[in-house]
Amino acid sequence: MIGTFSYAKFLKFLYSVPEAERGWEKSGVNGKLTAPLDWLYGLVRLPGRRIVTPVVNQMREAMATLARLQARSKAVGQQYYFRNSVVDVFRKKENDAAVKIQNWFRGCRVRAYIRHLHRAAIIVQKWWRSYLSRQHYQLVVKLAYYTMKMNLYNEMAVRIQRRWRGYKIRKYCFDYFYLKEYLRAVTETNDAIRDALEEFAEMKEREEKKAALEREEKKRDYQARKMHYLLSTKQIPGIYNSPFRKDPDPWELRLQKAKPLTHQRPRVKQKHSISLTSWLACTSNRSFPRSEILPPINRKQCQGPFRDIAEVLEQRYKPLEPTLREAEPINELKEAREDLRRQEWIRNVNDNMFLPFSSYHKNEKYVPSMHSSSKYGPNSYGCQRFRDENPKKWICPKDFQTVLPSFDLFSKYGKLYSKAGQIV
Amino acid sequence: MSQRQVLQGVMSLLRPLLLDVVPTIQQTAALALGRLANYNDDLAEAVVKGDILPQLVYSLAEQNRFYKKAAAFVLRAVGKHSPQLAQAIVDCGALDTLVICLEDFDPGVKEAAAWALGYIARHNAELSQAVVDAGAVPLLVLCIQEPEVALKRIAASALSDISKHSPELAQTVVDAGAIAHLAQMILNPDAKLKRQILSALSQIAKHSVDLAEMVVEAEIFPVVLTCLKDKDEYVKKNASTLIREIAKHTPELSQLIVNAGGVAAVIDCIGSCKGNIRLPGIMMLGYVAAHSENLAMAVIISKGVPQLSLCLSEEPEDHIKAAAAWALGQIGRHTPEHARAVAVTNTLPVLLSLYMSTESSEDLQVKSKKAIKSILQKCTYLPALEPFLYDAPPNILKHVVGQFSKVLPHDSKARRLFVTSGGLKKVQEIKAEPGSLLQEYINSINNCYPEEIVRYYSPGYSETLLQRVDSYQPLAN
């Protein structure tokens, strides 16, 4: 220790000075005094301020102290350095210790803070999760409820459909009872048809038997008529009426009933003529007798404008007198040619044309004339314009036939029945 | 000289006589030619080659009715042998003259002309078309309405020959209004006429549904059923052919026939004939049953199945047996009731023997196999199935065992019967590849029974028991 200088007392003194007069606070680091000497310097630097007398007294004391102190400043310096270096060793340790303590304390503080934050975060998260889960739970409940309802509906729908399908199949698609009815109806129809067919067959058999019997009867009847001469007479008993029999044979009775046959009249055969008048052949002979019938004798002439009966009959039974047009076919030329061809066909042994010997050496090929062999063809004038035959253009396969009207004016002259134009 | 050469020499001698002045000679020459051509097709060819036909055709237009008849007879005789000869007749323009003859007054001429046209049209569709193009069909329909029975017969036969080739020709015949007249004449008592009428109607009806419906609309049912009771065999055959042709088109037509009682009539008809006459009736039953199961049930309740199985067993010919097998298959294939109805009559063993026999034709074997398969797949009537276990070939055995495996799990009485009748024993003896369908069926059958019984019946069980006896050490006490 340096003396009786007490730093604390000094400080007490300094701060007893009123505020307005503390000029030294403006100087130094951060406005604070760092060493006892700095006060002095600060004080010295005071610019022309008037110092108050009580203060000056105190200042004089202080200046004395100061002088004393300056005398011991070197030793103070040395002591100061010495003490600082001794303290230095501890200072590091104490610093470290202080750091450690502060470290730990800060750590505790931070941890406490973090713990606090954790708790807060947990609370927030807890609330948030519970909120989310509750929402989800509501969804799940909704879904389950909805599923349950749909299952119920499906179940009910299946019941309805089951009933309906059963009904539909049984009533419309495959009606078992209808099928049974139908089969029963078919059996009944079958039986009815079988009965009807049996009846029909029986009826036919009966008819056949009847027909056979009738034929037999007819045959026997005919035989009886033929054998009529075997009938028994009063004198001679017939074959079938033997005296040794009790009853006459049934044939006897038949013979009695039968009428004898008469001789067959020879049938006159009609002569077939193939003349043009044969168109009458299809009509009955009785309607048009060909022979001339003479009028009956002693016949009175009918009163009235009637013609003579002989004339009338003559007109009626006059044979057909066709005109030339009908009598001769119109295409007689063609027919005559055909006829000739047929005659030759009959006569000829060989159908080939008989060529004269002179044509044997004529084996040159025919050379057509220039007019007909040009590539432009023959001239159509005279060939294709006047009445040329072009069968490809016909609408019907047959050709027209030329038919000439006959001039009928004088063929019936004097032969007509009517008396028109005649001079009475 | 051979007989043929002699006859051909005769031909060249007859040729000039055709143009003789005396008409009787002409007619007789034509008649002789006709009879020669009728006998042999070489002679018919000689007639064609000898250029006689144009002459005949020419004079056919001109001469009197006796000559026309004789000339038409020659044309008929030539045309009946082969299509080429018929074509030669058509080529020389005979059709027009024949059609003109159809308009003649004399019924004999009409008959001869119609006969010739019928024989020409019989061969193929082109010749029929040529006949139709010549305008023969309306005249034939007029001929049918004539009072003479012979003419009606021939005209009906000609219409039948025309319409049998194609639907268009049949339609032409129908358009001429033939069906109404044909249907009226079914009631005619003459047997040969009925044959031809029924044949004509069946040829028309066979082509398409519309034509069959038109035939049905002419109200032939139930009159046609009386024809099934006719004394004449061919009338019965043609009547059942007609019904068959109508029934085969659609289920509605078959239904119509069933409703009219046709099935019973046909079954009775089958019962009363033998041989080929039965065949159309059998086929008709098959067609009706094939359409639907209700119709098959209708056939069953009309007592068709016993009749068919009788046909199957007693007919000697293979094709009739094949038809009967097919018909039975069609009846039995629909539902278990149908299969039961068929199985009850003991037809299945007969079918199996026909399938297995080496003498049956291939067609018969195929049809009986199909019938067996289709009936077995629906059959649940076990007493009928059991004989199959013993003598069926493996491909059928598979189906039989399959049916057993379907029925046994559900029916305890059937299981008991199966064991007592020795069926289980037989099933164990069947060798099947593991993994095949047959093995699965066998397994499912074995699963219906307790293990002891299965082991008891498995082959070689007695040996295993004896081995156990040998290896058994009695407890020493």
Choosing from B329, B345, B379, the residue where a domain stops is B379
Which site among A173, A178, A181, A189 would you substitute to test the B interface, given the most B Cβ atoms closer than 10 Å to its Cβ?
A: A189
Q: Could you give the residue ranges of the DSSP H alpha helices within B22-166?
A: 23-39, 41-49, 52-62, 65-79, 83-91, 94-101, 107-121, 125-133, 136-144, 149-163
Q: Which chain A residue lies closest to B106 (C-alpha atoms)?
A: A282
| Ramachandran sector of residue A351 (left: φ over 0; alpha: ψ -120 to 50; beta: rest) | alpha
Average pLDDT over residues A350-374: 73
- CA dihedral (B464, B469, B475, B477) in degrees, to 10, reads 170
Rounded distance between C-alpha atoms, residue B264 and residue B349, angstroms:
26
Residues of B in contact with A204 (CB under 8 A): 229, 231
Domains identified in chain A, total number: 2
Q: Which of B424, B431, B422 is nearest to B404 (CA)?
A: B424
Residue A197 and residue B302: Cβ atoms within 8 Å? no
B302–chain A Cβ distance below 8 A for any pair: yes
Rounded distance between C-alpha atoms, residue B183 and residue B144, angstroms:
11
Residue A363 has pLDDT above 80, yes or no: no
Three-state DSSP at A302 gives: coil
CB atoms within 10 A of CB A68: 13
Choosing from A213, A234, A261, the residue where a domain stops is A261
Is residue A390 a part of any domain in this protein?
Answer: no
Choosing from B346, B379, B412, the residue where a domain stops is B379
- Three-state secondary structure readout of B249-308: CCHHHHHHHHHCCHHHHHHHHHHHCCHHHHHHHHHHHHHHHHHCHHHHHHHHHCCHHHHH
pTM of the model: 0.65
Rounded to the nearest 5 degrees, what angle is found at the Cα of B187, between the Cα atoms of B233 and B156? 75
Q: How confident is the model at residue B179 (pLDDT cuts 50, 70, 90)?
A: very high
Share of chain A above pLDDT 70, in %: 73
B367 and B246 together in one domain: yes
Rounded distance between C-alpha atoms, residue A190 and residue A201, angstroms:
16
Query: Both ends of chain B: CA-CA distance in Å?
Result: 116
B390 and B318 together in one domain: no
Helix axis angle, B318-332 relative to B348-356, nearest 10°? 130
Three-state DSSP at A159 gives: helix
Domain, as residue range, for B286: 219-379
Is residue A306 a part of any domain in this protein?
Answer: no
Choosing from B326, B351, B379, the residue where a domain stops is B379
B368 and B240 together in one domain: yes
- CA dihedral (A209, A215, A219, A222) in degrees, to 10, reads 140
B260 and B399 together in one domain: no
B272 and B233 together in one domain: yes
Residue A183 and residue B261: Cβ atoms within 8 Å? no
Q: How confident is the model at residue A299 (pLDDT cuts 50, 70, 90)?
A: low
Is residue B104 a part of any domain in this protein?
Answer: no
- B298-355 tens-digit pLDDT: 999 999 999 999 999 999 999 999 999 999 999 999 999 999 999 999 999 999 999 9
Is residue B301 a part of any domain in this protein?
Answer: yes
Secondary structure E strands in A369-414: none
B326 and B393 together in one domain: no
Q: How confident is the model at residue A37 (pLDDT cuts 50, 70, 90)?
A: low
- B237-257 tens-digit pLDDT: 999 999 999 999 999 999 999
Among A239-253, B46-60, B80-94, B436-450, top mean pLDDT goes to B80-94
Q: How confident is the model at residue A284 (pLDDT cuts 50, 70, 90)?
A: very low
Helices and strands of chain B, counted as H and E runs: 33, 0
Share of chain A above pLDDT 90, in %: 27
Average pLDDT over residues A5-11: 67
Q: Which of B52, B57, B80 is nearest to B68 (CA)?
A: B57
Element at B441 (helix H, strand E): helix B437-446
Three-state DSSP at B81 gives: coil
Residue B152 is which amino acid?
Answer: K
Average pLDDT over residues A123-133: 97
Residue B19 and residue A191: Cβ atoms within 8 Å? no
Among B222, B258, B268, the residue with its CB nearest the CB of A186 is B258
Handedness of CA A213, A214, A217, A218 (dihedral sign): negative
**φ and ψ of B279, to 5 deg:** -55, -45
CA distance A137 to chain B (A): 51
Indicate the length of chain A as a whole number. 424
CA A341 to chain centre: 69
Rounded distance between C-alpha atoms, residue A75 and residue A175, angstroms:
139
Residue B165 has pLDDT above 80, yes or no: yes
Residue B265 and residue A194: Cβ atoms within 8 Å? yes
Give the CATH number, domain containing residue B357. Answer: 1.25.10.10
CA distance B264 to chain A (A): 5
Q: Which two tokens stand for residue B218?
A: 């002419």
Rounded distance between C-alpha atoms, residue A155 and residue A150, angstroms:
8
DSSP, residue by residue, A114-133: HHHHHHHHHHHHHHHHHHHH
Q: How confident is the model at residue B476 (pLDDT cuts 50, 70, 90)?
A: low
Q: How many CA atoms lie within 13 A of A409 on its CB side?
A: 1
B286 and B343 together in one domain: yes
Three-state DSSP at A226 gives: helix
CB atoms within 10 A of CB B299: 30
Q: pLDDT at position B414, please? A: 87
Q: How many CA atoms lie within 13 A of A50 on its CB side?
A: 2
Is residue A409 a part of any domain in this protein?
Answer: no
Is residue A71 a part of any domain in this protein?
Answer: no
Residues of A in contact with B258 (CB under 8 A): 186
**φ and ψ of A423, to 5 deg:** -80, 120
Q: Which two tokens stand for residue B359?
A: 């003498």
Is residue B150 a part of any domain in this protein?
Answer: no
Is residue B60 a part of any domain in this protein?
Answer: no
CB atoms within 10 A of CB B364: 23
- A197-212 tens-digit pLDDT: 999 999 999 999 999 9
B226–chain A Cβ distance below 8 A for any pair: yes
Cβ atoms of B418 and B404 within 8 Å: the answer is yes
Q: How confident is the model at residue A49 (pLDDT cuts 50, 70, 90)?
A: low
Rounded distance between C-alpha atoms, residue A366 and residue A390, angstroms:
26
DSSP state of B474: P
Q: pLDDT at position B472, please? A: 86
Residue A28 is which amino acid?
Answer: G
Q: Which of B144, B219, B223, B212 is nearest to B177 (CA)?
A: B144
Residue A283 has pLDDT above 50, yes or no: no
Least confident of A113-122, A391-400, B264-273: A391-400
Residue B8 has pLDDT above 80, yes or no: no
Rounded to the nearest 5 degrees, what angle is found at the Cα of B399, between the Cα atoms of B393 and B400? 80
Is residue B76 a part of any domain in this protein?
Answer: no
Is residue A152 a part of any domain in this protein?
Answer: yes
Among B16, B228, B259, the residue with its CB nearest the CB of A346 is B16
Cβ atoms of B355 and B368 within 8 Å: the answer is yes
B249 and B352 together in one domain: yes
B437–chain A Cβ distance below 8 A for any pair: no
B373 and B234 together in one domain: yes
Is residue A163 a part of any domain in this protein?
Answer: yes
Domain, as residue range, for A150: 116-174
Q: Which two tokens stand for residue B361?
A: 């034709």
Average pLDDT, chain B: 90
CB atoms within 10 A of CB A31: 9
Residue A154 is which amino acid?
Answer: N
CA distance B442 to chain A (A): 36
Q: Which of B62, B97, B14, B99 is nearest to A335 (CA)?
A: B62
Residue A300 has pLDDT above 60, yes or no: yes
Q: Which of B158, B186, B154, B187 is nearest to B173 (CA)?
A: B158
Element at B372 (helix H, strand E): helix B362-376
> Comparing A234 with B267, which gets the higher pLDDT?
B267
Residues of B in contact with A270 (CB under 8 A): none
DSSP, residue by residue, B150-182: HHHHHHHHHHHHHHTS-HHHHHHHHHTTHHHHH
Cβ-Cβ pairs closer than 8 A, A with B, add up to: 57
Residue A274 and residue B260: Cβ atoms within 8 Å? no
Is residue B355 a part of any domain in this protein?
Answer: yes
Q: pLDDT at position A281, please? A: 45
Q: pLDDT at position B428, please? A: 85
CA A175 to chain centre: 30
Element at A203 (helix H, strand E): helix A176-226
| Ramachandran sector of residue B422 (left: φ over 0; alpha: ψ -120 to 50; beta: rest) | left
Burial B389-405 (b: 16+ CB within 10 A, else e): beebeeebbbbbbbbbb
Cβ atoms of B351 and B371 within 8 Å: the answer is yes
Residue A189 has pLDDT above 50, yes or no: yes
Q: pLDDT at position B382, please? A: 86
- CA dihedral (B198, B202, B204, B208) in degrees, to 10, reads 160
Find residues 402-421 of chain A whose CB sits inside 8 Å of chain B: none
Residue B259 and residue A345: Cβ atoms within 8 Å? no
Is residue A331 a part of any domain in this protein?
Answer: no
Rounded distance between C-alpha atoms, residue B93 and residue B74, angstroms:
15
Domains identified in chain B, total number: 2
Residue A3 has pLDDT above 50, yes or no: no
Average pLDDT over residues A294-315: 76
Least confident of A52-61, B82-91, B159-168, B298-307: A52-61
Is residue B49 a part of any domain in this protein?
Answer: no
Rounded distance between C-alpha atoms, residue A191 and residue B261, angstroms:
8
Rounded to the nearest 5 degrees, what angle is found at the Cα of A244, between the Cα atoms of A238 and A250? 55
Q: pLDDT at position B130, please? A: 94
Rounded distance between C-alpha atoms, residue A95 and residue A100, angstroms:
8
Q: Cα dist. A322→A316, A329, B208 in Å?
A: 16, 12, 57
B374 and B389 together in one domain: no
B391 and B299 together in one domain: no
Q: Which two tokens stand for residue A287?
A: 């309607």
Average pLDDT, chain A: 79
Choosing from A245, A261, A277, the residue where a domain stops is A261
Is residue B335 a part of any domain in this protein?
Answer: yes
B372 and B428 together in one domain: no
A187–chain B Cβ distance below 8 A for any pair: yes
A205 and A255 together in one domain: yes
Residue B23 and residue A274: Cβ atoms within 8 Å? yes
Share of chain B above pLDDT 90, in %: 62
Residue A208 is which amino acid?
Answer: E
CA A335 to chain centre: 68
